[in-house]
Amino acid sequence: AQSVTQLGSHVSVSEGALVLLRCNYSSSVPPYLFWYVQYPNQGLQLLLKYTTGATLVKGINGFEAEFKKSETSFHLTKPSAHMSDAAEYFCAVSDGSGYSTLTFGKGTMLLVSP
Amino acid sequence: DAGVIQSPRHEVTEMGQEVTLRCKPISGHNSLFWYRQTMMRGLELLIYFNNNVPIDDSGMPEDRFSAKMPNASFSTLKIQPSEPRDSAVYFCASSLASGTGGETQYFGPGTRLLVL
């Protein structure tokens, strides 16, 4: 069975500062890993995903994440936070079962202050 | 292209009433998922379908919840009778599952349900 742990339910940064949101996963098979973003009163939107190949994955809005198998991690980063990045971020893992089911973490709320 | 469409966007009802939530997946997608999101429990997978067939409904909280997918372009989630603890945001998502995994799920805007 898969599981996802997101460290920190809330992360606060200043505008222009580095954003780092942590995600660790547990999977019995090579995982597919996802980051989704949820803006207030909206559905979840894909930021980026890792399936195979290059372990550093670039996504929308300047975000990127690196798959580290030895650390079972898939942390999300952005060099410089913008006010518009304030949202909730979810890490998810797929077991490749063929039905594209996802196991989500509990989410991390990113707060950006001016 | 239209994304996943959900209706209604907001629903307020009284305890004991029947509630029906509707979802239209992205055209051509073959997998459909229903989720519930609350502050206390986060995002929970309720049930998912593949090619209109329910694959796993182990996340459905109890018999008051039922879901159907009569065709590839429509699904419903029904709660009968509704209770205040069912108040949540319900999301529908769809994907094109190829059998290899790693496919993206596309989420609808959600239905915000309040049961009084």
Average pLDDT across each block of 10 residues of chain B; the chain has 116 residues. List them in order.
92 97 96 94 93 94 94 97 97 90 91 98
Q: Give the model's pLDDT for residue B24.
A: 98
Rounded to the nearest angstrom, the minimum Cα separation between A35 and chain B is 10
Please tell me if residue B109 touches chain A, with a CB cutoff of 8 Å.
yes
- Within A1-78, residue ranges assigned H as helices are none
Among chain B residues, CA nearest to A104 = B43
B5 touches chain A (CB under 8 A): no
Report how far residue A51's alpha carbon sits from residue A31's, in angstroms, rounded to the nearest whole number: 7
Task: Give mean pLDDT, residues A78-88.
Answer: 97
Length of chain A in terms of residues written: 114
pLDDT tens sequence across B74-106 = 999 999 999 999 999 999 999 998 877 788 999
Lowest mean pLDDT among A9-23, A64-78, A98-112: A98-112
| Region A17-44 average pLDDT | 92
Strand partners, B65: B79
DSSP-based three-state secondary structure for A61:
helix
